[in-house]
Amino acid sequence: MTKDKNNKGSDIDFGLGGLFDGIGKLVDLASKLHEEGGEIKKEGSIDLDGLKKGMKGVYGFSVKSAAGGKTVVEPFGNIKKTPKGPKVEKVREPITDIFDETDKIMVIVEMPGVNKKDIKIELKGDILEISANSGQKKYSKEVLLETKSLKPENMTSSYKNGMLEINIKK
């Protein structure tokens, strides 16, 4: 459990059971920050004693302010919310950024610890499927692209230092 440094009466439970509630509160605070300005500081830890040996729980989220003031929250990691509570999976969802430029769509994906030969990329209409399986590191992500008429033959990719860059000409 951790205290909000700016509001001494506010408790946020960062245990595995309260992870998603805590993240929801942080997203609300991020929206308030976007509207009012300022700084938000939160600290916490997750007790993962119940995991199998060698298994690691990773969860995070990216909060971005898009055009028109729309706030976009994108989770990443291998902790998933289920009806029975949070579950740690073997496959992680990587951090992904999408840039819709005039002549192409560029997708940047963070996948450290994998080899280029283990990465699979498929474009099916407006859905980009990205996966990698390299020993202990496993990633999977489906990205919905706003442009519908993209063709797999117009796609190129490069991978260096854990960063995958995919370019698709429009």
Residues 5 and 78 in one domain: yes
Residues 57 and 128 in one domain: no
Cα 95 to Cα 118: distance, rounded to the nearest angstrom? 18
Residues 160 and 141 in one domain: yes
Cα 137 to Cα 135: distance, rounded to the nearest angstrom? 6
Cα 152 to Cα 23: distance, rounded to the nearest angstrom? 36
Residues 43 and 127 in one domain: no
Last residue of some domain: 64, 89, 114?
Answer: 89
Task: Name which residue leads in pLDDT, 83 or 164.
Answer: 164
pLDDT tens digit sequence for 127-150: 999 999 988 889 999 998 988 889
Say if residue 45's pLDDT is above 50.
no
Q: What is the DSSP secondary-structure string of the chain?
A: -EE-SS-TT-EE--SGGGHHHHHHHHHHHHHHHHHH------------TTSPTT----EEEEEEE-GGG-EEEEEEEEEEEETTEEEEEEEEEPPEEEEE-SSEEEEEEE-TT--GGGEEEEEETTEEEEEEEETTEEEEEEEE-S-S---GGGEEEEEETTEEEEEEE-
Predicted pLDDT at 1 = 39
Q: Which two tokens stand for residue 162?
A: 């854990």
Q: Which two tokens stand for residue 59?
A: 């969860």
pLDDT tens digit sequence for 48-105: 555 555 556 666 666 665 555 666 666 677 676 777 777 777 788 898 888 888 999 9
Task: Name which residue leads in pLDDT, 170 or 89.
Answer: 170
Cα 63 to Cα 25: distance, rounded to the nearest angstrom? 13
Say if residue 114's pLDDT is above 50.
yes
* CATH assignment of the domain containing 156: 2.60.40.790
Q: Once rounded to an integer, what is the mean pLDDT over residues 114-120? A: 95
Domain that includes residue 67, residue range: 1-89
Q: Which two tokens stand for residue 92?
A: 């992680």
- Give the number of domains in the chain: 2
Residues 7 and 82 in one domain: yes
Last residue of some domain: 42, 68, 89?
Answer: 89
Residues 62 and 101 in one domain: no
